[in-house]
Amino acid sequence: MQKITPCFWFNGQAEEAMNFYTSIFSNSKMTNIMYYNEMGPGEPGSVLSVTFELEGQEFIALNGGPQFSFNPAISMFVHCDTQEEIDFYWDRFLSNNGQEQNCGWITDKYGVSWQIVPNVLGEMLRDKDTEKTKRVMEAMFKMKKLDITMLTQAFD
């Protein structure tokens, strides 16, 4: 068991969201579903929470009600090795009513923010040559979906 497990608060969409997320990440699975009982506050027999894994990371999705919604202050960071991987995740989130944001961010149909980022970007931004890192940042600020070729060109 993980020491820390992120918990998403949904308004009746926990199971649907879990199914969506596990359809995107190939190394994923549903591990548990809990249901409301007579004590509520949800309808007895309706889904209280689901537990699932994405790429070995455990998550909980809770049907807590309409009191809270997502915002970009918390985001899920998806490390990508290739442009093909970036394109895959970007297209999967976008094709399901997601919204493009700047700098490799996308907001999914539930309002959860995801950062679809190439691992090479971190390497570039840690370079000791501040002119290179400045060019990479300037290039990144102009992008929605990150493009490894364009970032590399800016770096070089």
Q: What's the CATH number where 86 sits? A: 3.10.180.10
Q: Look up the domain containing 128 and give its range.
A: 70-156
pLDDT band of residue 41 (cuts 50, 70, 90) is confident
What are the pLDDT digits (tens) for 64-76? 999 999 999 999 9
Residue 156 has pLDDT above 80, yes or no: yes
Provide, rounded to the nearest whole percent, the portion of the chain with pLDDT above 90: 94
Residue 51 has pLDDT above 90, yes or no: yes
Tokens representing 88 are: 């895959």
What are the pLDDT digits (tens) for 82-98? 999 999 999 999 989 99
Rounded to whole angstroms, how far apart are CA atoms 156 and 141?
A: 17
Given this model, what pLDDT does residue 123 score? 96
Residue 1 has pLDDT above 80, yes or no: no
DSSP, collapsed to helix, strand or coil, labels residue 58 as strand
Q: Strands (DSSP E) along 55-154, which ranges?
A: 57-63, 75-80, 99-100, 105-107, 113-118
Rounded to whole angstroms, how far apart are CA atoms 60 and 62?
A: 6
User: Do 149 and 97 belong to one domain?
Assistant: yes
Number of structural domains in the chain: 2
Residue 133 has pLDDT above 90, yes or no: yes
pLDDT band of residue 100 (cuts 50, 70, 90) is very high
Rounded to whole angstroms, how far apart are CA atoms 77 and 79?
A: 6
Pair 58, 7: CB distance under 8 Å: no
User: Do 57 and 91 belong to one domain?
Assistant: no
User: Do 74 and 150 belong to one domain?
Assistant: yes
Pair 42, 48: CB distance under 8 Å: yes
Mean pLDDT for the stretch of residues 37-42: 84
**Mean pLDDT, rounded, of the chain:** 96
User: Do 59 and 116 belong to one domain?
Assistant: no
Mean pLDDT for the stretch of residues 125-142: 97
Look up the pTM and report it.
0.92
CATH assignment of the domain containing 9: 3.30.720.100
